[in-house]
């Protein structure tokens, strides 16, 4: 087995090892099922409750993607403004930091009063949890354009708009994709928090109900479903990232020829 193959298999092997340790550990120490069910019964619960999980996974996914989508648009626009304008940066940055440091769980009850229980509240929670990294990354990418490069372009008579389009935006793509990978996972956190606190449909709510019934296997099954959805979305953005910003890692060409 070549080292390349080992590298490709390693995440699967480590995951599998964790599950095996979990299974053996629970059996070995005779942990009661209400505290922690075995891995096998948790995975069986995913199958057993597949209808309920499916019905609740869909609203969670919708709220997450809506919140994320709004955050991407809003984050890029705000990031561009903050990145290219010092006054806007000075005016908004402290506010953003303050806003970001608020525990989002504490905001959910307020949103509940404003928007009621359901999709809107979950979407907005997902949005407010995940827009910050997008704004910051886009702004940083634009604000850190090399001064020499700026001078080269300005000496050609370039407008600020030319600089943003020719340099700023392409340069910000690796930063943007890095932030999207963080943001999509945060969006799941936001949606699930809102469902857990505010109720309605969704995996978060399902887990809350399972918790009140001491159905630990279902709770773990809920976590497994959320994790699986998050990994799936992350993987989509990782592929897009590699596709559009291979130049940033500079390894694209060797990678392709090595058949990786």
Partner 1 sequence: MAFIEIDEIDLTYRNSAGDEDDSGTLALQGASVTMERGDFISLVGPSGCGKSTLLKVVAGLIKANKGRVSVAGQIVDRPLKIVGMAFQNATLLPWRSTRENVLLPMEIVEPHRQQFRREKAKYEAMADDLLATVGLDGFGDRAPWQLSGGMQQRAQLCRALVHEPDLLLLDEPFGALDAFTREELWDVLQTLYMKRQCTVMLVTHDLREAVYLADKVYVMSARPGRIILERDIEMERPRTLEHMYRRETVELVQELRHHINIARSDDE
Residues making contact with partner 1 (CB under 8 A): 146, 148-149, 151-158, 162, 166-167, 170-171, 173, 245, 247-248, 250, 253
Is the CB of 51 or the CB of 155 nearer to partner 1? 155
Burial of 81 by CB count in 10 Å (0-12 exposed, 13-18 middle, 19+ buried)? middle
DSSP state of 159: -
Is the CB of 170 or the CB of 199 nearer to partner 1? 170
User: Is residue 175 a contact partner of residue 241, using CB atoms and an 8 Å limit?
Assistant: no
Is the CB of 69 or the CB of 246 nearer to partner 1? 246
CB of 164 to partner 1, least distance (A): 13
DSSP symbols for 121-187: HHHHHHHHHHHHHHHHHHHHHHHT--HHHHHHHHTTT--HHHHIIIIIHHHHHHHHHHHHHHHHHHH
Is the CB of 77 or the CB of 253 nearer to partner 1? 253
CB of 78 to partner 1, least distance (A): 23
CB of 167 to partner 1, least distance (A): 7
Is the CB of 55 or the CB of 150 nearer to partner 1? 150
CB of 73 to partner 1, least distance (A): 23
DSSP symbols for 32-101: -TTT---HHHHHHHHHHTHHHHHHHHHHHHHHHHHHHHHHHHHHHHHHHHHHH-HHHHHHHHHHHHHHHT
Is the CB of 26 or the CB of 82 nearer to partner 1? 82
CB of 170 to partner 1, least distance (A): 5
CB of 145 to partner 1, least distance (A): 10
Count CB neighbours of 27 within 10 A: 12
């Amino acid at each position: 087995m070549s080292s390349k193959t080992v590298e490709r298999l390693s995440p699967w092997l480590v995951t599998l090892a964790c599950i095996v340790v979990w299974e053996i550990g629970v059996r070995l120490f005779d942990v009661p099922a209400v505290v922690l069910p075995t891995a096998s019964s948790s995975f069986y619960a995913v199958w057993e409750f597949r209808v309920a999980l499916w019905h609740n996974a869909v609203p969670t996914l919708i709220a997450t993607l809506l919140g994320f989508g709004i955050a991407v648009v809003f984050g890029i626009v705000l990031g561009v403004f903050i990145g290219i304008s010092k006054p806007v940066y000075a005016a908004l940055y402290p506010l953003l930091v303050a806003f970001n440091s608020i525990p989002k769980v504490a905001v959910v009850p307020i949103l509940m009063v404003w928007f009621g229980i359901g999709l809107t509240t979950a979407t907005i929670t997902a949005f407010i949890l995940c827009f910050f990294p997008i704004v910051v990354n886009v702004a940083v990418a634009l604000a850190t354009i090399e001064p020499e490069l700026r001078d080269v372009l300005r000496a050609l008579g370039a407008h600020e708009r030319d600089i943003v389009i020719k340099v700023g935006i392409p340069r910000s793509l690796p930063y943007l994709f890095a932030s999207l990978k963080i943001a999509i996972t945060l969006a799941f956190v936001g949606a699930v928090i809102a469902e857990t606190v505010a109720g309605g449909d969704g995996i978060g709510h399902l887990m809350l109900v399972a918790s009140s019934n001491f159905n630990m296997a279902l709770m773990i099954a809920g976590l497994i479903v959320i994790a699986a959805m998050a990994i799936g979305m992350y993987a989509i953005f990782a592929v897009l990232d590699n596709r559009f910003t291979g130049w940033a890692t500079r390894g694209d060409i060797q990678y392709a020829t090595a058949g990786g």
